[in-house]
Structure 1
Amino acid sequence: MENNEVEVPPFFLCPISLEIMRDPVTVSTGITYDRESIETWLASSKNSLCPVTKQPISDMDLTPNHTLRRLLQSWCTLNSSHGIERIPTPKAPVSKAQITEILRDANKPQLQQKCLRRLRSIASHNTSAKRCMEAAGAIEFLASVINTTSQDQASASEDGSLLDIKSPSDDALCILYHLQLSAPGLKSLVAKDGEFIKSLTRIMQCGPYESRAYAVLLLKSMFEVAEPMQIITLRQEFFTEVAQVLHDQISQQATKATLKLLINLCPWGRNRIKAVESGAVSILVELLLGCSDRRTSELILMLLEMLCQCAEGRAELLRHGAGIAVVSKRILRVSQVASERAVRILLSVSKFSATTSLAQEMLQLGVAAKLCLVLQVDCGRKTKEKAIEILKLHARVWKHSPCIPSNLLSSYPS
């Protein structure tokens, strides 16, 4: 709609997006905005202040400004010769009563699939429609569908039935994820006596790839607002299935969400050991071997560093033939964050799990030379301090070794 030959009247522009309003609505402070812009603002703003007046918006109901919309449409028609397209009359926003009626019909088995499709369509609308669905009780309904049908799905898997057949839980999970739930909505899912988490665990175990990805994406959001006790009491099978999603590399988005989920969970209770026992260390090393994405590499090293804070994690890293090699290789090759995490991993191993044979192996892999390089470049004070500590710990084995380049011997700490 932009055209340099036409001057757009300023009152046609949304104060937030500074673009021509397609669906002008007025808030309680008397200022008119484009519906999509103000809904996004209100959804992301903590204090719900009017962007223009900075006054609190007391009533969240948005009043359509029909007069301004008609003026806008007339102006578009008059300037059609300049390439200005007429703005269509927006559809009336979905109401809570409409969603309540859909949810009521969805309780009838013969109408459930049709109602889920309707809810999926509404969830793809604007932020207002999503919040309206949440207020009408859609979360409880969708969670109940997932809880019920995921059990049937697990039974079908045990019988050897095909997993490619889409079930109501797959649609319900997709809708639940796209609702972009508020913090209270997410907390309500975590607080359902652990039943909903068990259902998502079953989906990660035997659901189709798309649903497994949605499950881990939703879990990441849920545990960002969960209480410590809800995190500490997670079962071993939960970590096993999360690790399997990581292993399967369903998508880059799912992989990053899984890494962030585990980073959030591992500091609590025995979760670090549960993750190690699920095979996470070996999976992370394999991922790191083939990873070319900077942020993913940083997350992998961040999680590996957490897992290497326990003896079980360090033992698994050393058991993997490429463990030390791939970690040291990432130093000075990815980012400052990645270098710091990699050096921390090597320090944990050197402090608590080192043997003479391991020190010799690290020397042959070029770890000592790489740490000497760390002292030569700008990679952060803390990283350098940790590199010096490792070099000192292995000084007896490393200092007089021909594996260290002669030009780096001067930087070896005494």
Structure 2
Amino acid sequence: MVLPWRSRGGRRAERRNLSTSGDTSVVKIKVPAQLRSSKIELVQSPRAPLTPRDAVEICRRLENATAREENAECLEIVSKIKNLAKDNGETNKKCLLQYSVVSELTSCFQRFASTREEHAPLLEEVLSVITSWLPLNRTEGFSKMGSTASLKTLVRFLNAPDAKTRQNAVFCIREVIAIDKRFVYALTDIEGAFEGLIKIIKDSVSTSSTKASIMAIYRIISCDNKTASKLVNLGLVALIAEMIVNNAEKSVCERCLVVLNVVCDNEQSREDVLGNALIVPLIVKKILRVSDLATQCSVSILWKLWRKNNDHLLVEALQVGAFEKLLVVLQVGCEEKTKERASELLRNLNRCRNEMENTNCVDSSMHLKNVKKSF
């Protein structure tokens, strides 16, 4: 048996430990010449976890470098923080978070985002570190990402050519606007914000970024209903319909229905929703097919559209099986508000069906000519 601190020849190994502040420990071991051409073998040992003293020192250095606007030094420190978070995983991360590294990182981002000079590599690196630690909405200092300068930089990254940068930006925006409505209003005033969020969905950067963009849009519309018409003009309704048709992931479909539900609260946007021939059959098909929340949203959307469009929508809904679906919704049970809306829709659907049977006539223009795909 060869002990780890001895060579095969029985000689005592020469050990040199370079482990400081999370650096790699290197062990020099002499081995017989017949086994290796080189007489020195470097063996990596586990990295030492970060100590509170080291974390405080790192934060202090970053704070000072940010105050002096030393781009290169800040980039070096941020890269070190990123590497430390990878080593010993949660241990180093918890230590860094405990000693307010997020506050220093967001201060750095805000400071360099406010300058006229170009600091994209540094800002992208800071954003990468912050994003890898999300959610941070309750962490001290994270609200600095909601400053005007920081949001403008995030929107610029949202429209950047690099997919990873765009993904990090939309993740951060989603978290920031969840903290305070003020940040939502600040974001809506920035040129290119809506276009960037819509483009994330159109380009299908990744499933996670699509979800983040949808949730950001939901929070924006929920806070300011007037923004719905702007987003609809950018093609939001058509995008939602396309995602519901093509995306098999339930969580994406659920988020789409949640957004469509708040869009229908805006009178002008309801007209655009009704103008899409796929919406009604898609909504009816998703009742009881995705989740309880999706069913609630689907019933709510139908109810809101019916209140605006009256019997024309009822005829269209009857043709795609809404009456039977709503009956089942009441039978299996649902929340009180959904139950009331489903009951009201059923009464009017039944009335409409009786009128159609009595007249034995259905306007051919009400058939869904644009539906070319089974759902």
Mark yes or no: TM-score above 0.5. yes
Taking only aligned residues, the RMSD between alpha carbons, in angstroms, comes to 3.1
Q: Following the alignment from structure 2 to structure 1, what is the Cα–Cα distance between the partners of residues 154 and 141?
A: 16
Task: Give the share of equivalent positions with the same residue, in percent.
Answer: 20
- Count of residue pairs the alignment pairs up: 300
2:177 aligned with 1:215: no
Matching of residues 13-412 of structure 1 within 5 Å: 90-93=49-52, 94-102=54-62, 104=64, 107-111=69-73, 113-124=75-86, 125-132=92-99, 134=101, 137-146=104-113, 167-180=121-134, 181=136, 182-190=138-146, 192=147, 194-226=148-180, 228-233=181-186, 234-235=188-189, 237-269=192-224, 270-354=226-310, 356=312, 358-399=313-354, 401=356
How far is the alpha carbon of 1:135 from its aligned partner? 6.8
Unmatched tracts of structure 1, length 5 or more: 1-85, 154-166, 403-414
How far is the alpha carbon of 1:195 from its aligned partner? 1.9
TM-score of the pair, normalised by structure 1: 0.64
Q: Following the alignment from structure 1 to structure 2, what is the Cα–Cα distance between the partners of residues 310 and 151?
A: 40
Is the contact between residue 170 and residue 197 of structure 2 (CA under 8 Å) also seen in structure 1?
A: yes
TM-score of the pair, normalised by structure 2: 0.70
Unmatched tracts of structure 2, length 5 or more: 1-44, 87-91, 358-375
Cα 1:278–1:129 shift into 2, 3 Å: same
> C-alpha deviations, 1:373-393, integer Å up to 9, x for none?
333433444333212212333
Cα 1:268–1:87 shift into 2, 3 Å: closer
Q: Following the alignment from structure 2 to structure 1, what is the Cα–Cα distance between the partners of residues 162 and 299?
A: 38
How far is the alpha carbon of 1:238 from its aligned partner? 1.6
Tell me the secondary structure at the aligned position of residue 247 of structure 2.
coil
Aligned to 2:362: none
> C-alpha deviations, 1:168-197, integer Å up to 9, x for none?
33222102223444444222221x2x1211
Q: Following the alignment from structure 1 to structure 2, what is the Cα–Cα distance between the partners of residues 149 and 253?
A: 32
The one-letter amino acid paired with 1:140 is S
Q: Following the alignment from structure 1 to structure 2, what is the Cα–Cα distance between the partners of residues 381 and 102?
A: 54
Cα 1:222–1:123 shift into 2, 3 Å: farther
Tell me the secondary structure at the aligned position of residue 205 of structure 2.
coil
Is the contact between residue 330 and residue 342 of structure 2 (CA under 8 Å) also seen in structure 1?
A: yes
How far is the alpha carbon of 1:224 from its aligned partner? 1.6
Q: Following the alignment from structure 1 to structure 2, what is the Cα–Cα distance between the partners of residues 330 and 115?
A: 50
